[in-house]
Amino acid sequence: MYFDETELERVKQAIDIVELIGGYVTLKRKGQSDLWGRCPFHNEKSASFHVRADRGMYHCFGCGKGGSAINFVMEIERLSFAEAVRMLAEKAGITITRTESKESASSDTHEREQLFHASAIGEKWFHDRLTVTPRSKEAESALKYLNERGIGLELIKRFRIGFAESGWDGLVNSASRAGIKGDTLVRAGLAYKKKTGEGYVDRFRARVMFPILSLSGKPVAFGGRRIDGITPDEDVAKYVNSAETTIYHKSEHLYGLVTARDEIRKAGAAYLVEGYIDLLALVQAGLLNVVASLGTSLTEEQAKLLGRFAGRVVIVYDGDDAGRSAAVRAADLLTIAGIEARMAMLSAGEDPDSLLRKVGAETLREVIANEKSFVQFRLEASGVDQKMGQKELLSAAKGVIETLQSVRDHFQRDILLTELANLTGLRRELLDKSVRETRRSENPLVTVEKKLTVTPEQNPEKELLRAILSHPPLIAEVMEAVAAEQFEHPGLRAIYLALEQDYLGGRPASPDAVIDKISDPALRAFLAEASLSTGNATPEAAREEMQECITLLVKRLVVREREEIESQLRQPGRTIAENRPLMERLVELNRQLQALNIK
């Protein structure tokens, strides 16, 4: 370990794992300390993701991933151990130190740290241009532009909106004073290298800036909107967006999710719009559970991300042809992801922002409330006409049927097929046949963590650890009875040594402390599953299991020593004097086996 153990323990004690994971996954309580949700690491319909509040651990029974708060942050944010510890320490308000290690020299870790820092500096620079006085004339014009759309300082601060000045190097110079080099800004998508080869210029100029935040609240990218009269005429693009970087993959983020997730959970539903301004329009109309797909078509990853928080999503895309096409794709992806997709399509040429300014918040809410189901919307988009014959209807509904072929949940698929039959008049048997013919496998492609494999002789080691991990108070008894050398499986021995190290050091020998020291995924999955697996085992039953495993380990040790002695006794040329101590030891070993009641 390269962190002070005391500081590391303080961080883990300060973090509420339920609150932490609840920021990424909707959890439902099924007991005082037991919470369940849909796993964020693989696509699933049923909730197989288990969190134990009292043990600070999580485990997915579907894909096998599990661990402590640190492991969760490492997986979900794609961070190194050191980055995850620092992130949690910052969240807990704890100052933590770390000694030099190979990890500190990791180029990937260092790169991510630099880009996060550069993005944070960029966000503050842009935001200050709008919120700190005195403002430049351009910033005043940008603020006026936002105010005319009902976006006042309250919304600007809530969504950390900013402004990029028209100068060539405002951010570059500010970042340089903060110790950030120009090439780091380039890699963070915030600057360009000058064509002359010397020096750097800002990537975003004369634009309103919308920071894209990760679920941990860190800025990872930006979108810049042009403003007529401020943005140079030659800069014609309506939006300029960050390129993908080490810390930003646009298909994995949704604008506004970190701000809206609590409202989404509360409502059990979310509104999905196409862009930043449209999102702010719905917020102004009082609809706070809204996210945007970053101006691009919704991706499969974004649909799954939204599904962690909402069981129902209302798509509110622009009313033009492009908006309708994008809505069809979004509706299909959401439905396949197991989410109830509904549509609130606007009139041709309208978007939420224009409608808000034209008719006001109340009418906008009324328009959006006039939702259509997924099947209704998809049939209309496919040009289905009730006057069509069965063959024509089936052909026109082909797009809907193809989507339903990919729906894995039986109940969801049955509901949608019933609605399709009712709306089209198509015979249900015909629809079922069409779906069966080419329906994809119902088994989702889940990357399952490699399971821990042990030999039959090593099984008592595994079961002994399972007993004490599920009932930590038993650890002290085992430490007195079993030495680490008795573990033959190297991975299980590593777990036992880590428990022993904490126990002998006077620290709580808890599973969550051990799991952070284990890098092997199969061992981590076993640790998480064992520590959260209470089953029907009472403390008495766990102690009985523990004692049986100890007995089996002692037997294995005694039997192997006896076999070794018997082998030595069979060697030719040995004298009676040489054999006497071996015979005495053999008698003692047989006595031990009899005492263990083992034949």
- Percentage of residues in the chain with pLDDT exceeding 90? 36
Domains of the chain, earliest start first: 5-103 (3.90.580.10), 107-248 (3.90.980.10), 257-379 (3.40.1360.10), 382-438 (no CATH), 456-595 (1.10.860.10)
- Dihedral sign computed on CA atoms, order 66, 67, 69, 73: negative
> How many C-beta atoms lie closer than 10 Å to residue 438's C-beta?
10
Amino acid type, 364 = L
Selected residue with higher pLDDT from 447 and 239: 239
CA distance 12 to 505: 18
Mean pLDDT along residues 234-259: 91
Residue 536 has pLDDT above 80, yes or no: no
End-to-end Cα, the chain, rounded Å: 45
Give CA 133 to chain center in angstroms: 39
Selected residue with higher pLDDT from 485 and 255: 255
Strand pairing class (49-52; 340-343):
unpaired
The tokens of 190 are what? 């915030």
The confidence score (pLDDT) of residue 99 equals 52
Is there a contact between 125 and 160 (Cβ–Cβ < 8 Å)? Answer: no
Average pLDDT, the chain: 86
The confidence score (pLDDT) of residue 441 equals 43
Residue recorded with tokens 């910033």: 139
Instruction: Give which of 485, 338, 476, 341 is closest to 408, Cα–Cα.
Output: 338
Mean pLDDT along residues 137-154: 95
> How many C-beta atoms lie closer than 10 Å to residue 178's C-beta?
12
pLDDT tens-digit profile of 330-380?
A: 999 999 989 999 999 888 888 899 999 999 999 999 999 999 999 999 988
Confidence of residue 533 (pLDDT cuts 50, 70, 90): low
Mean pLDDT along residues 559-588: 84
Burial of residue 557 (CB within 10 Å: 0-12, 13-18, 19+) is middle
pLDDT tens-digit profile of 410-434?
A: 889 899 999 998 988 888 888 888 8
Confidence of residue 173 (pLDDT cuts 50, 70, 90): very high
State pTM to two decimals: 0.73
The confidence score (pLDDT) of residue 560 equals 83
Residue 443 has pLDDT above 50, yes or no: no
Q: How is 474-516 classified by DSSP, letter by letter?
A: GHHHHHHH--GGG--SHHHHHHHHHHHHHHHTTS---HHHHHT
Angle separating helix axes 398-405 and 410-424, nearest 10 degrees: 170
